[in-house]
């Protein structure tokens, strides 16, 4: 896991993140480059994903492959994914040490259609290639109120929002310092006095949603409970979490996570989830655009059926870390957001702050990233549904129609800073 360019904080930070992710997942994390800091996507070293109707073509291509590469045929995993619509194969050990992308390239040279089979990519809390986490680790704040502040709402229709994230901190829902979270529920992330990486991420995001739309019903669906996974999850498992989210009949889902993919092809898992569960439903998925300052597609934000959200600074300019282009349909404030956070001691794990100890005892934290821009937009959509009784799709269109445009063609539409929350 060494990196020759040790003097570059960004590269060292990426290496720190991958080390944490790999250790948290028993070494089952691989990347597409020699130096970890240069990665563009992460994947399971032995998994291949194939759509159910493409299984015969995939297995025929494998049968044509040189038997010296795969000593035995891939084993079809018995885990049921998307009702059988998605099939996960486990490759046997490769005699020449070929990676999953190497094997797929050989299969495609032998006639397999490109994109029919895919690595099982690692989805991470607002990641991208080159960084695999929020733009910064959580920071202490002297503020006693959230920013953006709670937008008053006296009445409205009930709206269900599911935040698919790292879990929920139950004390925050009954804390007099964070009254806007009263009634929020979710999968307990099992915090202790020593906070792990990504602790509080889902709680913070739920708080942002509630500040935008106080009358919404919010549930936090946890995918990294108790620190399992290091804040990451395979895309084949993420879609199972999204299935659980859909079972709650939400009108809005917030997913502050995503991934790059091999050859930047659309994620098979997310595509299948949309086709099976989201298409035709009165539900909008809002996703973070990622924090790598680039325009390459970041899934699921880059799909046309998702609302991808980039980050703005307080002055209305695009944050230096924010992705743009196809992954960002709109931009909203994502720098120095303040919201609910568990009390406890947090030790930074990433360069240049590695080893720094931060003590949280006010019920709040300050955090930056597209992770936190996304729930502003998700909350605005939920509020539009609540106040007008419209469908989720109509609410999405109404919120996006109120965005203003910047003269920079890379930026596109963004939420005006004074709307929907007041400027101090």
pLDDT tens readout for residues 133-174: 566 789 999 999 999 999 999 999 999 999 999 899 999 999
The pLDDT value given to residue 421: 41
Is 127's pLDDT higher than 50? no
| Backbone φ, ψ for residue 30 (5° rounding) | -125, 165
- Give the mean pLDDT of 121-128: 71
Burial 369-396 (b: 16+ CB within 10 A, else e): bbbbbbbbbbbbbbbbbbbeebebebbb
What CATH number should be reported for the domain whose range is 160-414?
3.40.50.200
Cα–Cα distance for residue pair 416/405, rounded to 1 Å: 9
- Give strand pairing partners of 366: 139, 338
Of 33 and 384, the one with more pLDDT: 384
Give residue-wise pLDDT tens across range 168-213.
999 999 999 999 999 999 999 999 999 988 899 999 999 999 999 9
List, for residues 50-105, the tens digit of each pLDDT value: 999 999 999 999 999 988 888 889 999 999 999 999 999 999 988 889 999 999 99
pLDDT of residue 407: 57
Domain-by-domain residue ranges, the chain? 9-122, 160-414
Sign of CA dihedral 15, 16, 21, 26: positive
CA 182 to chain centre: 25
Query: Does residue 3 carry a pLDDT above 60?
Result: no
pLDDT tens digits, residue range 31-54?
A: 998 888 788 999 999 999 999 999
Give residue 231's pLDDT: 73
Contact 162, 221 (CB under 8 A): yes
- Report the interhelical angle of 392-401 vs 370-388 (nearest 10°): 120
Provide the token pair at 291: 């924090």
């Amino acid at each position: 896991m060494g990196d020759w360019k040790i003097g570059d904080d960004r590269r060292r930070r990426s290496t720190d993140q991958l080390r944490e992710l790999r250790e948290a997942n028993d070494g089952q994390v691989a990347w597409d480059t020699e130096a970890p800091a240069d990665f563009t996507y992460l994947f399971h070293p032995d998994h291949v994903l194939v759509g159910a109707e493409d299984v015969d073509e995939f297995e025929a291509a494998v049968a044509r492959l040189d038997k010296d590469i795969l000593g035995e045929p891939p084993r079809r995993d018995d885990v049921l994914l998307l009702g059988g619509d998605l099939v996960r194969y486990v490759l046997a050990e490769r005699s020449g040490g070929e990676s999953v992308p190497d094997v797929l390239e050989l299969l495609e040279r032998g006639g397999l259609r490109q994109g029919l089979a895919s690595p099982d990519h690692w989805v991470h809390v607002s990641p991208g290639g080159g960084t695999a986490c929020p733009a910064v680790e959580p920071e202490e704040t002297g503020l006693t109120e959230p920013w953006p502040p709670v937008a008053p709402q006296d009445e409205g229709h009930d709206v269900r929002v599911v935040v698919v994230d790292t879990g929920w901190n139950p004390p925050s829902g009954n804390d007099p310092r964070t009254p806007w979270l009263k009634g929020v529920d979710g999968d307990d992330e099992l915090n202790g006095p020593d906070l792990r990486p990504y602790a509080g991420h889902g709680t913070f995001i739920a708080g942002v949603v509630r500040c935008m739309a106080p009358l919404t019903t919010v549930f936090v669906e946890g995918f990294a409970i108790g620190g399992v996974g290091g804040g990451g999850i395979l895309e084949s498992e993420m879609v199972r979490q999204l299935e659980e989210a859909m079972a709650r009949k939400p009108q809005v889902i917030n997913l502050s996570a995503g991934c790059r993919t091999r050859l930047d092809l659309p994620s098979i898992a997310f595509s299948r989830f949309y086709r099976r569960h989201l298409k035709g439903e009165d539900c909008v998925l809002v996703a973070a655009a990622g924090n790598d300052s680039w325009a390459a597609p970041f899934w699921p934000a880059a799909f046309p059926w998702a609302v991808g959200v980039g980050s703005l600074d307080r002055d209305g300019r695009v944050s230096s870390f924010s992705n743009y282009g196809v992954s960002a349909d709109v931009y909203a404030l994502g720098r120095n957001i303040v919201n609910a956070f568990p009390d406890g001691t947090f030790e930074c794990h990433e360069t240049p702050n590695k080893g720094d100890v931060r003590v949280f005892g006010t019920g709040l934290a300050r955090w930056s990233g597209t992770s936190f821009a996304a729930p502003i937009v998700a909350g605005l959509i939920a509020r539009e549904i609540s106040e007008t009784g419209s469908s989720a799709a109509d609410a999405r269109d109404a919120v996006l129609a109120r965005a203003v445009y910047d003269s920079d063609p890379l930026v596109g539409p963004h939420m005006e800073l004074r709307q929907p929350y007041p400027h101090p």
